Amino acid sequence: MMSMPAFVASEPVLKVAISVEEYDTAPSAEYQQIAHVLAKKGARLQPLRLPTRRARNLFSDKKLDCLIDFSHFSSESDQANGLLLSLPLSTHVFYFFTASDVSPLTSIEDAQGLVIGVPTRYEHYLKPLLTSIRAIEWARSEKQLVEMLKLERIDAILAAFPYMELYRSELSYQEISPFRPATKHLICRQSDYTAKIMKWLL
């Protein structure tokens, strides 16, 4: 069997968290994008499929090297100093979704007095922006929120494409009035190796 080059074998293995809520059966598109570039450089990555909240906690406890998340999470983290962010890997555009026979919401003001369902993995990013909404139901997944909407347990969903793509035909939303976009990055603890990796991702 051919041995690996010495410079590859000596590189550390980076533990990279992938959200299990978003990708139950396969690594994320963002991770594949990173892995494709870094494999050419001989980098060694260990993808770990974890619930988003657990991944964030392990990252804050310095038990993970990197995670793929919104940049807002890194700025809110207790470990904000000394973190490295890649260029944006993907953009997620948030909308308010209602039942197909209900007029779509066009702004956060339209959501006043309603019960709004939101995926829990967006809590760090969206919660500070939803202070004027009193009734928020946090749920594990978009699928669960769509079922709650059908059962009239919530009035609307605040979630993002591409994860709502599957339910587009069942719901109403105002395409010209997104709530806001968000970008995901590879976020790593600062070290000589992660600094090198970030340069490779430019």
82-113: pLDDT as tens digits:
789 999 988 889 999 999 999 989 888 899 89
Q: Is residue 14 part of a domain?
A: yes
Residue 86 pLDDT: 92
**Cα 120 to chain centroid, rounded:** 11
Q: Is residue 70 part of a domain?
A: yes
Q: Is residue 114 part of a domain?
A: yes
Q: Considering only residues 71 and 69, tell me which one the structure prediction assigns the higher pLDDT.
A: 69
Q: Is residue 35 part of a domain?
A: yes
Considering the domain architecture, whether residues 114 and 137 belong to the same structural domain is answered as yes
Q: Which helix (H) or strand (E) holds 115?
A: strand 115-119
pTM assigned to the model: 0.78
Considering the domain architecture, whether residues 76 and 123 belong to the same structural domain is answered as no
Residue 79 pLDDT: 53
Considering the domain architecture, whether residues 177 and 188 belong to the same structural domain is answered as no
Considering the domain architecture, whether residues 172 and 195 belong to the same structural domain is answered as no
**Average pLDDT of the segment spanning 63-83:** 75
Q: Is the pLDDT of residue 6 over 80?
A: no
Considering the domain architecture, whether residues 102 and 82 belong to the same structural domain is answered as no
Considering the domain architecture, whether residues 63 and 127 belong to the same structural domain is answered as no
Q: Is the pLDDT of residue 8 over 80?
A: no
**Average pLDDT of the segment spanning 47-58:** 90
83 residue type, one letter? L
Here the CATH number for the domain that contains residue 101 is 3.40.190.10
- Confidence band, pLDDT 50/70/90 cuts, at residue 27: low
Considering the domain architecture, whether residues 139 and 80 belong to the same structural domain is answered as no
Considering the domain architecture, whether residues 172 and 196 belong to the same structural domain is answered as no
DSSP assignment of 47-112 equals EEEE-HHHHHHHHHTT--SEEEEEHHHHHHSTT-TTEEEPSP-EEEEEEEEEETTSPPP-SGGGGT
Considering the domain architecture, whether residues 12 and 84 belong to the same structural domain is answered as yes
Q: Is residue 1 part of a domain?
A: no
End-to-end CA distance of the chain: 33
Considering the domain architecture, whether residues 106 and 34 belong to the same structural domain is answered as no
Q: Which domain does 35 fall in, by range?
A: 6-89+183-200
Report which DSSP code applies to 179: S
Residue 5 pLDDT: 42
Per the structure, the count of domains in the chain is 2
Considering the domain architecture, whether residues 48 and 114 belong to the same structural domain is answered as no
Tokens 């829990």: give the residue. Answer: 120
- Confidence band, pLDDT 50/70/90 cuts, at residue 150: very high
Q: Which two tokens stand for residue 2?
A: 């051919």
**Average pLDDT of the segment spanning 132-154:** 92
